[in-house]
Amino acid sequence: MEIPDSAVNEEARRRAEDAALAALVDQYASSLYRVAYSVLRNAADAEDAVQEAFLRVLRHRDSLDEVRDHRVWLIRIVWNIVLDRKRRAKTRPETDDVAELARVLPSTGLSAEEVAAAAQHHAHVLACVEQLPTKEREVLMLSAFEELSSVEIATVLSITESSVRSRLFRARNLMAGLLDHNRSSR
């Protein structure tokens, strides 16, 4: 019994799609987690949102070739998921615990003392970020932590590029004030 060429080609195409999806998960999972956590403030909810995003990608895997920038596209999906969840919950659990987000920030190649100092610094900076108004915090998180451009942030947030630049300017000024205030009060 001979297997038709079309079946072999279909199997090869499916394997290639699966490999591409696995690569997307490997490449963007931690970045998407940080985005989700920055809004939801809960590790389990952030993980669920990332998982839901990848499930949506699985459902629409046939259109992956049409996507120009997978990173922005995935962040947009996660952003919509977390905002939808937040709207449905109507409450945002507030927490001062930023250690979970600091945990996912890169700190490889450092000594134990440097890792501890970096974690402490990350936690301090993130605590200051938490004090920012929501709109400014959102653009700062997407710009500084996810390194999205103004155009990409505007796409994710569905606002104009000039609004992104304005909010980013305010966020940076507020952060500078918060960091200076905290530095002088030590």
- Top-level CATH class of 1-93? mainly alpha
Asked if residue 47 has pLDDT above 50, the reply is yes
Asked if residue 63 has pLDDT above 80, the reply is no
Q: Cβ–Cβ contacts within 10 Å for residue 44, how many?
A: 8
Q: What is the CATH T-level fold of the domain 109-186, as seen in this structure?
A: Arc Repressor Mutant, subunit A (1.10.10)
CB neighbour list of residue 155: distance below 8 Å, 6 or more residues apart: 72, 76
Supply the pLDDT for residue 100: 54
Confidence of residue 11 (pLDDT cuts 50, 70, 90): confident
Domain ranges of the chain: 1-93, 109-186
Q: Are 99 and 149 in contact (CB under 8 A)?
A: no
Handedness of CA 40, 41, 42, 48 (dihedral sign): positive
Q: What is the 3-state secondary structure (H, E, C) of the chain?
A: CCCCHHHHHHHHHHHHHHHHHHHHHHHHHHHHHHHHHHHHCCHHHHHHHHHHHHHHHHHCHHHHHHCCCHHHHHHHHHHHHHHHHHHHHCCCCCCCCCHHHHHHCCCCCCCHHHHHHHHHHHHHHHHHHHCCCHHHHHHHHHHHHCCCCHHHHHHHHCCCHHHHHHHHHHHHHHHHHHHHHHHHCC
Asked if residue 104 has pLDDT above 60, the reply is no
Supply the pLDDT for residue 185: 64
As a whole number, mean pLDDT of residues 4-14 equals: 72
Supply the pLDDT for residue 93: 45
Whole-prediction pTM value? 0.60
As a whole number, mean pLDDT of residues 123-151 equals: 86
Confidence of residue 164 (pLDDT cuts 50, 70, 90): very high
Asked if residue 4 has pLDDT above 70, the reply is no
Confidence of residue 49 (pLDDT cuts 50, 70, 90): very high
Handedness of CA 36, 69, 24, 53 (dihedral sign): positive
Q: Cβ–Cβ contacts within 10 Å for residue 164, how many?
A: 24
As a whole number, mean pLDDT of residues 83-111 equals: 60
Smallest CA-to-CA distance from 50 within 67, 41, 65, 37 is with 37
The percentage of the chain sitting over the pLDDT mark of 90, rounded to a whole number, equals 19
